[in-house]
A and B are shown apart, each in its own frame.
Chain A
Amino acid sequence: MLNKEGKKREKVLEQSIEGKIPPRAEGKAPYTILKTRLAKVFHPKVMGTIWLFVIWEIASLVTPENLFPNPYVVFQAVIFGVILREGFLFHVRMTVLRIIIGFCISFSIGMSIGVLMGAKRFWEEFFTDYVIIGLTIPSLAWAVIGVLWLGLRPLTPVFATAMIVFPYVAINFWEGVKDVDKDLVDMGRAFDVSKRRIIRHIYIPSIVPFTLAAARIGFSISWKIVIVGEVFGASNGIGYMIYYWYNMFSMRLVLAWLLFFTVVMLLVEYSIFKRLERRLLAWRPQAIL
Chain B
Amino acid sequence: MGYKLIRVNGLKKVFHQDGGELLVLDNLSFDVEEESFTTLLGPSGCGKSTLLNMLTGLEDLSAGTIDISSTGGKKVKMSYVFQTARLLPWKNVIDNITFVHGMKKSKEEGTQVAIQYLKLVGLEEFAHHYPHQLSGGMQQRVGIARALSVEPGVLLMDEPFSHLDEITAKRMRADLVDIWQKTKVTIFFITHDLSEAALLSDRIIFMTQKPAQIYKDFTIDLPRPRSEEDQRFFELQTKLSREFHLMQESYERTEDRLQTS
Contact = CB atoms under 8 A, between A and B. Distances in A.
A129 interface: no
A9 interface: no
Contact of B133 (A19, A186, A190, A193): A19
A170 B58 CA distance: 30
A5 interface: no
A26 interface: no
B117 to A, nearest CB: 14
A205 B79 contact: no
B130 A201 contact: no
B82 interface: yes
Contacts of B82: 183, 187
A202 interface: yes
Given A183-B82, A191-B79, A193-B102, A19 B129 contact: yes
Given A187-B86, A191-B100, A205-B88, A19 B130 contact: yes
Contact of A197 (B57, B58, B102): B102
Interface string B69-109: 00000000001101010101111100000011011000000
Contacts of B7: none
Contact of A283 (B80, B103, B130): B130
B99 A184 contact: no
A285 B88 contact: no
B88 A191 contact: no
Contact of B128 (A19, A201, A205, A284): A19
B99 A193 contact: yes
Most chain A C-beta atoms within 10 Å of own C-beta, residue among B82, B86, B128: B86
Contact of B88 (A19, A186, A201): A201
Given A18-B128, A283-B90, A283-B130, A190 B99 contact: no
B150 A191 contact: yes
B90 A205 contact: yes
B56 interface: yes
Given A187-B86, A190-B56, A283-B130, A17 B125 contact: yes
A3 interface: no
B121 to A, nearest CB: 17
Nearest to B103: A194
B80 A187 contact: yes
Interface residues of B, number: 24
A108 B56 CA distance: 38
A189 interface: yes
A86 interface: no
A17 to B, nearest CB: 7
Interface in A196-222: 197, 201-202, 205
B125 A285 contact: no
A183 B88 CA distance: 10
Contacts of A125: none
Contacts of B253: none
Contacts of B100: 188, 191, 193
B104 to A, nearest CB: 10
Nearest to B156: A190
Given A19-B130, A186-B58, A187-B80, A197 B99 contact: yes
Interface string A25-65: 00000000000000000000000000000000000000000
A284 B131 CA distance: 10
B132 interface: yes
A289 to B, nearest CB: 12
Contacts of B125: 17
Contacts of A184: 86, 88
A212 to B, nearest CB: 14
Given A184-B88, A187-B86, A201-B88, A192 B102 contact: yes
Contact of A191 (B80, B89, B103, B132): B80
A194 B80 contact: no
A223 to B, nearest CB: 31
Nearest to B86: A187
A193 B125 CA distance: 27
B108 to A, nearest CB: 19
A282 to B, nearest CB: 9
A202 B92 CA distance: 14
B226 to A, nearest CB: 30
Interface in A158-193: 183-184, 186-193
Most chain B C-beta atoms within 10 Å of own C-beta, residue among A187, A188, A191, A194: A191
Given A186-B58, A201-B99, A283-B90, 20 more contacts: A18-B129, A19-B129, A183-B84, A183-B86, A184-B86, A184-B88, A187-B80, A188-B100, A190-B56, A190-B57, A191-B79, A191-B80, A192-B102, A194-B102, A194-B103, A202-B88, A283-B92, A283-B130, A284-B89, A284-B132
Question: Nearest 4 pairs between A and B by C-beta?
Answer: A191-B100, A187-B86, A283-B90, A205-B90
